[in-house]
Amino acid sequence: MKISSAESVVMEALWRQSPLTSEAIIAEVGEPNAWTEGTVKVLISRLLKKKAIAAKADGRRYLYTPLVTRSAYVESESQGLLDRLFEGRLAPLVTHFSDADKLSDRDIAELKALIERIGK
């Protein structure tokens, strides 16, 4: 399932707290993104069609909950990035950031610790 960047904003709101009504989702993501109520409702509809979220009737309103976990989404997006740009390999991604001087001292320390842990 492909979740767009705009849809992921709605998903992030639901991952932080759920269930949420459409009004609560609109209040959380609408104004910070300059989205109208209609825009947010379209995003909710798309996510429902993709079965990324579920809706449960609660009186005259619906409560929305995520069906996709954040970790599953991050894994899918990460793998997609690696596949599209780096032939599915992690080392060229790290090399890219290293060559562009985008790795902080903290990043380097974390990578060294990770490599040491994996090597054991």
Q: Record the pTM.
A: 0.81
Which tokens belong to 78?
Answer: 């990460």
The whole-angstrom distance between residue 50's C-alpha and the CA centroid of its chain comes to 15
pLDDT tens-digit readout, 77-97:
999 999 999 999 989 998 998
pLDDT tens-digit readout, 3-35:
999 999 999 999 999 999 999 999 999 999 999
pLDDT for 17 equals 97
Between the two ends of the chain, the Cα-to-Cα distance in Å is 35
pLDDT for 102 equals 84
The structural domains of the chain, ordered by start, are 5-66 (1.10.10.10), 90-120 (no CATH)
pLDDT tens-digit readout, 30-69:
999 999 999 999 999 999 999 999 999 999 999 999 999 9
pLDDT for 37 equals 97
Q: For 30, how many CA atoms within 13 A lie in the half-sphere containing its CB?
A: 14
DSSP 20: B
Which tokens belong to 69?
Answer: 């976990």
pLDDT for 97 equals 87
Q: Rounded to the nearest 10 degrees, how much is the dihedral formed by the CA atoms of 85, 87, 90, 96? A: -40
